[in-house]
Amino acid sequence: MINGILDFIAGLGASGELATLGLFVGTVLIFYGFFGGLIVQNPIGRRYQSGKPIQRRNAFEAGLLNNADVDPKGFMKALMPQTREKRTRIRRQLMNAGMIGQNAIARYYVTRVILALLLPGLFLVLLVLHQASLLPLPQSIVEVLDGPRGRLLTYYLLSCLLLVGFFGPSLWLRSKVDERQLQVSETFPNALDLMVVAVEAGLGFDAAMTRVSNEMEHTAPAIAQEFRLVQLEVSAGGEREKALTDMAARTNVDEVASFASVILQSIQFGTSVSDALTTYATEMRITRELKAQEMANKLPVKMSGVMASLMLPALFLLILGPIAIRWSGTFG
């Protein structure tokens, strides 16, 4: 069937290529035009944004009131998962990557679909320009595409580009989550030390968290955004327990989860927050030192395998080389 369609388009000549290109561009434009009108907007968040004259600092804070899970409607039902469990899993991954907001899931899936259509479309455009003698290609590529298996290879390349465009954002999201978790885990001890200094200087817990987020906005943007978001949620009337628990869920880092548990227990039992932060900061420094010692102790084991793989061939050559030469001289 694929070969028949390709033969039909090849029979049409340049007009068939232009028709294929026009059909692809029209599909993308129609899809892009319908996207803005089919996404359900949050009226509360829209009124809040229109009534606030001061612009927020970044898009991370803008999703504070627009983070509710809304069931997809219209054409978005064909793109987004229907079950709330799957959307919750994707939303959690996006939150771990630092992307929040009501339309985060919709943008994610729309990006996957657009890339899945755009990459094969660009490849078809290159083929059309090459056949129209408007874009010269290397001779090796021309020989492969114009060969006896050129059409089958073109079909394979289009399929590969489709898969790369659709599953590429998923791989990028995983790498973004790992990168952000590493940044949070590396900068959180320094943020905790600054918070201890601020609390010991007389600031309250909320004021200390706000001060630390302002001080570390450029050096550690991830942890600064998380601290600022906690304070924005508390200022909007949310419970501090839920705000800290949400921060631990967004980061998915063990140190942050332990920090939230320490603060909540200190507030619940009425103990000093400064003492709790000081004790936890000391334990975190010890934990970091133990992790460094663990990594240092793993180095000899890792180096032994590399050294053995590099030294054993040379040893075998030195030991067995003279014997092989002597045997070749004796029995040759």
Crossing angle for the helix pair 84-96 and 240-251, to the nearest 10 degrees:
80
Q: Which pLDDT value is given to residue 187?
A: 86
- Look-up: residue for tokens 């694929």? 2
Q: Three-state SS for 28? A: helix
Q: What is the separation of C-alpha 243 from the centre of its chain, rounded to a whole number of angstroms?
A: 23
What ranges in the chain are assigned the alpha helix state H? 2-12, 14-38, 43-51, 59-62, 84-96, 104-131, 139-145, 150-200, 205-215, 221-235, 240-251, 254-269, 273-331
Q: Which pLDDT value is given to residue 271?
A: 81
- Asked if 86 and 105 count as a contact pair (C-beta separation under 8 A), the reply is no
Q: Three-state SS for 75? A: helix
Domains recognised in the chain with CATH numbers: 2-177 (no CATH), 179-286 (1.20.81)
Q: Which pLDDT value is given to residue 92?
A: 81
Single-letter amino acid, residue 95: M
Q: What's the DSSP call for residue 40?
A: P
- Asked if 40 and 101 count as a contact pair (C-beta separation under 8 A), the reply is no
Q: Which pLDDT value is given to residue 23?
A: 58
Single-letter amino acid, residue 230: V
- Asked if 181 and 253 count as a contact pair (C-beta separation under 8 A), the reply is yes
Q: Which pLDDT value is given to residue 75?
A: 65
Distance CA 211, CA 194 (A): 9
Q: In order along the chain (332 residues), what is the average pLDDT of each group of 10 residues? A: 50 53 62 50 50 46 51 67 74 80 79 88 83 73 70 84 89 89 86 88 87 88 88 85 87 87 86 83 84 88 83 84 81 66
- Look-up: residue for tokens 């990168």? 179
Reported pTM: 0.63
